[in-house]
Amino acid sequence: MSVYSIADLHLAKDIDKPMDVFNPFWDNYMDKIKENWEAKVTDEDTVLIPGDISWATYLSEINKDFDFIESLPGKKILSRGNHDYWWTTVKKMERFTEEKGYTSLKFLQNKAMEVEDFVVGATRGWLLPSDSHFGEDDTKIYYRELIRLDLCIKDIQRLDPEHKKKHIIMIHFPPLTKSAANTDFSKKLEEGNIDICLYGHLHGKGHLIAKEGEVNGVLYRCVASDFLSFNPIKVSGLIVP
C-alpha cells in the first residue's frame, strides 16, 4: 500500500478547454495520465492530488472528469487549486459524490487525515508577495491562507501529537521558490515540523523557479502533472530528512 501524488490534472472531459492549446507538451495529456497512473498505482494505494483537478465551473459540469478519476486505481484525496471553480463545501461535494456513486474520492480542505504511514493536511495557499502578479487585492487572501495553513498543521499535530508518522502538507501554490526560499509559508512548515510538502501550480517556464529538495528540515516536491511528465510520484519512496 503506497502513497503517490500528482497535481494539476486540468481535466476537460465535460468542457472544451484542454491544456494542449497552451503548450504542445500537453498533447494527449489525459491519456498520458491514465497510462502512467494505471502502470504503477493499485487499488490498495492512495493518490494525493493538490489542486487544479478540473476545468469545470460547476459540480454539474464535472461528471465526466470525476468518472475519469473514479475509473483509475486507488483511493484519491483531492484538495483545492486556484482553477477549481466547481469546488464548494466539503459537505456538498461529499453529498454529490455519494449521490453519483463515486466511492474512491475524498476531499480535504484546511484539515488533516491519516493516510497509511502519513498524516496529511491540505490547503490551497496563494501567490507569494515576491510574485510579479501579486497585487493589492492579494494581500488579504495571502494572510487568510496563512491562517488556513496553521489550521492544517494544528490538525496534523492533533492526530499525531508524538510525530510517529511522517507529516505531509499538500498545498496547491508553491510555498517557496528558488528566488524566494524563505517565506511566511515555509517558516510555518518548519515551525510545524512538517516532513514533506507537495505543491503544484507551476507550468511551462514556471518550472524554472520550482524549489525542490530539503530546506530547513522540510522536503519539497513539485508535483504539477507536466513537471512530472504526467507520471504520479511515489511519496512513500521519497527520502525524508
In contact, 59 and 96? CB cutoff 8 Å: yes
Query: Is residue 106 scored above 80 in pLDDT?
Result: yes
DSSP letter for each residue of 23-39: -GGGTTHHHHHHHHHHH
Element (H, E) at 222: strand 218-222
The pLDDT > 70 percentage for the chain reads: 96
- Average pLDDT in the chain: 94
How does pLDDT run across 126-171, given as a tens digit for each residue? 999 999 889 989 999 999 999 999 999 999 999 999 999 999 999 9
Under 8 Å between Cβ of 14 and 62:
yes
**Full DSSP string of 114-178:** EETTEEEEEE-----TTSTT--TTHHHHHHHHHHHHHHHHHHHHHH-TT--SEEEEEESS-S-BS
Name the domain count of the chain: 1
Name the residue with higher pLDDT: 189 or 28. Answer: 189
Residue 154 sits in a domain whose CATH number is: 3.60.21.10
pTM score over 0.75 = yes
User: Which of residues 23 and 219 earns the better pLDDT score?
Assistant: 219
The whole domain housing 99 covers 3-237
Average pLDDT over residues 175-194: 96
